[in-house]
Structure 1
């Protein structure tokens, strides 16, 4: 299936709301919103729709949801950062204005990519000396996260927060895989695979490659390894929120851009 509308329906039906917060330590509902809290003092807001009780969302109802969601998090002094995840195809009148007016700052939009896992599960020739493997040892996971933080330009505080969440997830659950590409023992590319329970999907996340190793097929090989693993898990589809580095690679493999997603972030004043 490569019809964008059908893929988007599958994405909306199977991957929105509850499926997005498997690592949350607490979740509350506010109307259609899912308000999740993660380790490290991070809040995360998502939803499958902003409509309520069969009534289409309006500027007034959206503003009220933003008011209520931010009040929920500001009431907890342990929360220092909140992300509101938007999608470009949602009916969300006045959402951008409401978020910005409450101190949320939009990040760069990413492409929501969806397609058959089998399209990615191909043989890719690697440069000499480069190997792709799944890692489970904590030292390997720490090295992987450090490389990703370097590529993404994360602050030390944010990198430590992500590492805390990843290690907790690996210690307490078995529904996430960490994959790396190594050159002579040094991690040069990395990414996660997250099969989504109760769905046909597995997500590929956190794809990062050191600049000097790009353009050599390493990311494609890492993606192919994760796609093969997804198929072993019985998953039909792959989804990814992709930057402009990875989107063209996934498109050439047959995945389809079905929407966009833009994170808006609020930070507590210090």
Structure 2
């Protein structure tokens, strides 16, 4: 994999050329930034900023004013290769709170072990309706320790309005949900994203996460996607590297006003 070329493609297609990730959201473009604006339960934030901004502090102030007019907080997704180099310091000075640093990793859909299966007695279920969403949200809340009501509404909205852009899966041991994750397609690009993958305490180390990645890779390959992208924490990065994913850069969510707008990566 040509790392520089794939990162440039990622920036062009998923950041500068971003499309809304939900039916209630819209993407706005200015000379300085690309941002998504939606309702309070949508992800709201800055996806890309021009590398040659003449007045970074002024642009930051403009985004604060724009989302204040929308009536809710937002996130500025800052990547390790973004410019100016001190943009993170400027965001903190303007009142943003940085979240944990993650690693942007990309793998080809043919790379992960596509034959990885869950342990005996565990079945993987594709989520298509409210009952399945509730199972996924239950895993989310147990893994991340956060309220999943906003995620639940986002998933229901997207499964209703744009079901071809998302696949959600849950691993069930009997009737108990023990692991879950999402696969989000980006129309018009060769990328699909892995989001929110996690396994509940006491069931980790049993191959559940690996099986979820493999299933989502198979589904992405069937849809013609070449690349899987994931914002990985330090816990999932070693697993993903063993599956053939490559780190390209870092990414840090900077939240303004409402940190709960942060969307959980693969833990």
Give the structure-2-normalised TM-score. Answer: 0.89
2:92 matches 1:100: yes
Q: Which residue does the alignment assign to 1:163?
A: 152
Deviation track 1:76-100 (CA, whole Å, cap 9, x = no partner) reads: 3x31x21110100112243122211
Distance 2:117 2:159 in 1: 30
Moved over 4 A (4+): none
Which deviates further from its counterpart, 35-44 or 7-16? 35-44
Partner in structure 2 of residue 43 of structure 1:
44
Deviates more, 1:134-143 or 1:224-233: 134-143
SS of residue paired to 1:162: helix
The answer as to whether partners of 1:14 and 1:199 remain within 8 angstroms in 2 is yes
Instruction: Tell me the residue number matched to 2:53.
Output: 57
**Secondary structure of 2:81 counterpart:** coil
Check whether the contact 1:192–1:207 (CA below 8 A) recurs between aligned residues.
yes
Question: Over aligned residue pairs, what C-alpha RMSD do you find?
Answer: 1.8
**1:111 alignment partner in structure 2:** 103
Asked if 2 retains the 8 angstrom alpha-carbon contact of 1:46 and 1:85, the reply is: yes
One of 172, 192, 196 as aligned partner of 1:202: 192
Unaligned runs of 5+ in 1: none
Q: Deviation digits for residues 114-141 of structure 1, max 9, x if unmatched?
A: 0111111521243221111211121111
Q: Which consecutive residues of structure 2, in runs of 5 or more, have no partner in the other structure?
A: 259-267
- Number of residue pairs matched? 255
Cα displacement (A) at 1:209 = 0.7
Q: Deviations over 1:209-239 (max 9, x none)?
A: 1121111111011110000000110111111
Equivalent residue for 1:26? 26
| CA distance in structure 2 between the aligned counterparts of 1:242 and 1:130, rounded to whole angstroms | 24
Equivalence for 1:130: 122
How far the C-alpha of 1:20 sits from its partner, in A, is 5.7
Contact 1:39 1:161 in 2 (8 A): no
